[in-house]
């Protein structure tokens, strides 16, 4: 049973890491992403968690809140790598 739980955990981690890579590639190519795009394109339902991880890894991402009628959503804007990491945007 413990081995099965470890396998499930590892598979879940690998799938989440794959979604992180997909979202990062999207941001690098298109410069912005919304939750709706992440869900529709990559089946990534935890975009805010992915953005948090990417920021922790040194990526510069800002958040714009958009308000439309009775709804609101975030648009994430990619600016490259933080200069503090010693890497340049586009690397």
Q: Residue 17 — pLDDT band, cuts 50, 70, 90? A: very high
Whether residue 18 is predicted with pLDDT greater than 80 in this model: the reply is yes
Q: Confirm if 38 and 53 have CB atoms less than 8 A apart.
A: no
Q: What is the DSSP string of 24-73?
A: HHHHHHHSEEEHHHHHHHH----HHHHHHHHHHTTEEEEEEEEEETTEEE
pLDDT of residue 55: 95
Q: Which residues contact 89 (CB under 8 A, 6 or more apart)?
A: 60, 79, 80, 81
pLDDT of residue 84: 64
pLDDT (mean) for 53-69: 95
pLDDT of residue 82: 82
pLDDT of residue 91: 41
pLDDT of residue 88: 45
């Amino acid at each position: 049973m413990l081995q099965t739980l470890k396998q499930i955990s590892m598979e879940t981690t690998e799938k989440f890491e794959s979604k992180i890579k997909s979202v990062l590639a999207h941001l690098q190519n298109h410069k912005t992403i919304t939750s709706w795009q992440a869900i529709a394109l990559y089946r990534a339902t935890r975009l805010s968690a992915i953005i948090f991880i990417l920021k922790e890894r040194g990526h510069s991402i800002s958040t714009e809140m958009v308000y439309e009628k009775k709804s609101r959503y975030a648009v994430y804007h990619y600016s490259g790598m933080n200069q503090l990491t010693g890497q340049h945007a586009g690397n």
